[in-house]
Amino acid sequence: MIYLLDTNVVAELTTRPKPDPNVIAWFRAIPAPNLYLSVLTIAEIEAGVAVVADPLRRARYEQALAQIRIDYQGRIAVIGEREAGAYLAIHKALKSAGTSIDPPDALIGATAMANDWTLATRNTKHLVRTGARVENPWEERPA
């Protein structure tokens, strides 16, 4: 199974002083080639780094982001036609249901759907509305 890691999973693994043991165990059980990021996750991390006022903390986060880019080289998913089509389907379905979702979350969900991947996130209640398969590393274990 291929997993697309949501930003909260990446943050837990790379910036928390004491990452959740369940997330660590989940992450270690998945072969690295089966773990992907979205370009939007990279953008969200960059945006978070940019607003950190403390220069030492910001430098630590910049270093973590640089390492993420190295670790996931070749496994950072871009948004192409398939993903855009899945996004449009999500947008239409949610609009007809009288609800919405933030565009970055919808695009991350669309990326998972378009590639038949499972979205790993803590925010399952929100992202399940995209129609993507979701798994919570804080609670679940891979088969």
pTM exceeding the 0.85 threshold for the entire prediction: yes
3-state secondary structure of 127: helix
pLDDT digits (tens, 9 = 90+) for 72-91: 999 999 999 999 999 999 99
Give the mean model confidence (pLDDT) for residues 98-112: 94
Question: What are the Cα distances from residue 83, in Å, to 64, 89, 112?
Answer: 27, 10, 8
For the chain, give the percent of residues with pLDDT over 90. Answer: 93
Out of 86-90, 122-126, 137-141, pick the least confident: 137-141
Alpha carbon distance 57, 72 (integer Å): 22
What is the pLDDT confidence band of residue 65, given thresholds at 50, 70 and 90?
Answer: very high
* Biggest CA-to-CA distance, the chain: 47
